Every structure is written in C-alpha cells, then in structure tokens.
Structure 1
C-alpha cells in the first residue's frame, strides 16, 4: 500500500494487524512520515519523497519467541542484497541491523513484534533507506544516500519493490530452515569484522577486535572486557 504520508509506517502496519486488515507480505510504503521510529526510541528523520520508508508485515512461523534475531538476520540480509546491488561491495551490515557504506549509515531497520501470551503472532519490519536525499539533519553524524554514492537519481517506489523481492527470498530461506546459511552470509558481510572496533558500555570506552555474531545475536569480540555482548548492552563509537 502506497501512502502519501503517515505518522509512522510501523504504527500504521500494527494498527492494520490489530484490526485484522493485514496479512503476511503486506507492505506499507510512505512518501513522508513525521514520527518515524528508530532503535532505542530514537526518531528516524527523513526528507519527504526522497527515500524508502516502508514496513512489511511478517508471519514469523515457524520461529518461536526467543528467536527474534533470526528474523533480524533475514531482513538485514535482504537490505544488504538490495543496497549492495547499486552501491557495490563496500556495503556492510553493522550489528545488529544497520546498513552501512564505508563508515556511513545508509539505512536502518526496526522490527516490532506482536505477542499473544508466549506466542509470537506477527512481526513488523520497518525499513528506512536513504535514496535521493543529500542534505541531512546536522544531528546525524554519518549519513549517506544512494545518490551521494552513485551520483544518480532513483525512483524510491520502484526500488522499494525491488527490496520486497529480496525480502521474499531471504524470508523464504529462513522459513525453509536455512538459518545457518543466513547467519554465515550475515557474518560474511559484517561491518568491520576482523578489525579493531571502539565500543562504549555505560561510562566505559574500550577497543576490541570484532570476530563475528553468534546464533543468539551476541556480538563476539577478542581482547575486550568480555568476549561477547548482547544488543542494548553496548553502543558503537564510529571514528
């Protein structure tokens, strides 16, 4: 469904789920949103009509509660597949699910879940990818768009359709039990894998070497205060 504007495509999708008006594969694309959500309660700020702003409704079965990271891997890989097709092999997935080009953020993913008791009923994957925007909010430290990378203008609606095709492929792999294959691909394209990275935990800053991500979604490192970190436990310091 193509929307001229909405507060948040994730909120719009969740509302449709609650009213039994959405099914697996429903996608809501907006040309403008004014209350977009990012990770940790941050706002996702984007210029109207210039980017991909969409939310996909996903039936997570056969996954169960506690396996949310598996879905995150599939969605992140779909975004990587799409973006790298245009931006090339300097594209990477920054743990847990940002899309980076070199050291700059090109897109982000926010997955929200609807639970009923212990049952994982639905997931909504909100995806924002910078396409034609060239001027960004000064508060954003390191954004980049496809236009800045390639020098070309694109049709965000057409590109969103291409992204949906990649999403279908990766979700089919996940539902067919190929998570090990997906996790291997995720680690292959992991931002700064094998390099020294800089992290922050509370008031402490430290450096360590990134070795990968395990099936539980933990960031695995060497020469740090711990050998693994969970999502939300640390934050990146991008030089």
Structure 2
C-alpha cells in the first residue's frame, strides 16, 4: 500500500508507510534531522494517534479510514515573508481534488477545508525548519476525512458522509499528490498572484457580513482578503480595516 508514485516528477518518490504513529509531522521532522528525508519525501500513516491541528488542537481519526500524511518540501526559493503562499497552494490543491465530489467546498482561513452548514472535512498544518540562510524545510501535514462515518466532534464530516459513497484511499492519495506537485511547480514559477486569487475565490465568508469573536469581544464585518504575511483582513461595519493573526479571531460556529 502507498507505493512510490509513478505519475509524478519528484513528489512521492520516497514514501514511508506506517501502520500507526503519533504524528506524521513529528516523524517527518525527525527524518529531516537525521538526514533521512529529502524534498518530496512522504510519511503516511494508517492510524495517527496524536495528530496535530492548528491552535494546538488534536486531529481525530479512525485507523484505516482517512488520509493522514506529511510531505517534505524545500521552499528555499521563497522568502520567509512569503510563507503563506505555501499554505494557499496546498489549500488550493486539496480543493481542486475534492471539488468534483463537493462543489460547495470552501477554504476556511487559514487552511481548513469545509462544506458550509455540513462540517469540516480536512485541515493542514505546516511546520518549518529555518536556518541561518533562510527557509530550509517545510513539513506539510494533511489530514482528510475520507471514509470515517462517526465523529465525536459535531462539526466534523467526511467525503463518504457527504457523498454517500466510499473511496479507495490510495487513489485519492495519488491524485492529491499530483495536484500538490502541480501547485508547487506553479509556486516555483512565481505564480503567486494566481495562487492567491484562486485561494480568495474559494475563501469561506469572503465579502459576507458576519460576527466574529476576539479576546476583546465580538466584531461585525466582512472578510476582504488576506495580507502578504497571511493575516486575515476584516472590514468592520463601521468601515474600519482590522488585521488578525491566527490566534486572534474565531469564526462563528456552523
């Protein structure tokens, strides 16, 4: 299962499959430190017991039902100030994979994949290794709910629940890695504006007036974009522009 991919140029030519692990990101980071990983290496796990999400959250998965893997990249062609373009590229690649099955799929800032009023189907966690000369490695952790039918978290859902069909995990994996490679090549070619435009076009609640929540209370406004550093740009109902980082704003529950 999960053999070396034949339909890609450089991603997935080194695939480590683990029946069980704590976190594929942690395993990939360890492999980098030990010199056992290179650009394009993938760690994939059937049952990830301590998967990590944004804001320090855990990622709940049932063994053998979903896709949980980490991809090693060397985006040293990007400045550290351009890190969010990698996030946007990965989000775009996952959405392109799933949009044929889920035409209502949206990206919820910064990089959750959701179907509005239905639930969250996937997420991304990117962890970086930075050296004295800049960005050395990025470990892109991806979790996608594919065939799981029961969740303890009421806002979680899966491709199977939303479509009524079950899917072959390895085929979904192969198609996703192909989309990721295409997006990464686009990033290497400097197509940043195209990547950002695609990301914003499918951004959840873009230009919709909504009430958000911060540590200082609620704020009503509409998302008008993201900054170059990846912060959320919000125009309040009073016409003020506010900028929020990852842990500074919460979306309304759906």
Question: TM-score category by the smaller chain?
Answer: over 0.9
- Give the structure 1 partner of residue 6 of structure 2: none
Q: Does the aligned pair in 1 maintain the 2:219–2:236 contact within 8 Å? A: no
Moved over 6 A (4+): none
Instruction: Name the TM-score, length of structure 1 as normaliser.
Output: 0.94
1:117-168, Cα deviation, whole Å (9 max, x unpaired): 352110000000110111001xx24111100111001112221111101100
Aligned to 1:162, which of 175, 185, 189?
175
Q: After the TM superposition, which residues 1-239 of structure 1 pair with which residues of structure 2 at under 5 Å, given as runs? A: 1-88=16-103, 90-103=104-117, 104-117=119-132, 119-137=134-152, 140-223=153-236, 226-239=241-254
Compute the displacement of 1:169 (Å): 0.7
Give TM-score scaled by structure 2 length: 0.89
Q: Could you tell me whether the CA contact under 8 Å between 1:200 and 1:206 is conserved in 2?
A: yes
CA deviation map 1:174-206 (0-9, x unaligned): 111000000000010111112122311114122
Tell me the CA shift for residue 20 of structure 1. Answer: 0.9
C-alpha contact (below 8 Å) 2:76/2:134 kept by paired residues: no
C-alpha distance in structure 1 between counterparts of 2:120 and 2:210, whole Å? 16
- Asked if the contact 1:51/1:128 (under 8 Å) is kept, the reply is yes
- Provide the rounded CA distance (Å) in 1 between the counterparts of 2:93 and 2:147: 20
* Contact 2:75/2:138 (8 A) holds in 1: yes
CA distance in structure 2 between the aligned counterparts of 1:47 and 1:74, rounded to whole angstroms: 27
- Secondary structure (helix, strand or coil) at the match of 1:158 reads helix
SS in structure 2 of the partner of residue 236 of structure 1 = coil
Separation of aligned partners in 2, 1:70 and 1:61: 13
In 1, the alpha carbon distance for the partners of 2:216 and 2:65 equals 37
Q: Which moved more, 1:104-113 or 1:77-86?
A: 77-86
Counterparts of 2:35 and 2:131, CA distance in 1: 14
- Number of corresponding residues: 236
Superposed CA RMSD in Å reads 1.4
SS in 1 for 2:48: coil
Structure 1: give runs of 5+ residues left out of the alignment.
none
Mapped contact 1:61–1:175 kept (Cα < 8 A): no
Instruction: Indicate if the aligned counterparts of 1:183 and 1:215 stay in contact, CA closer than 8 A.
Output: no
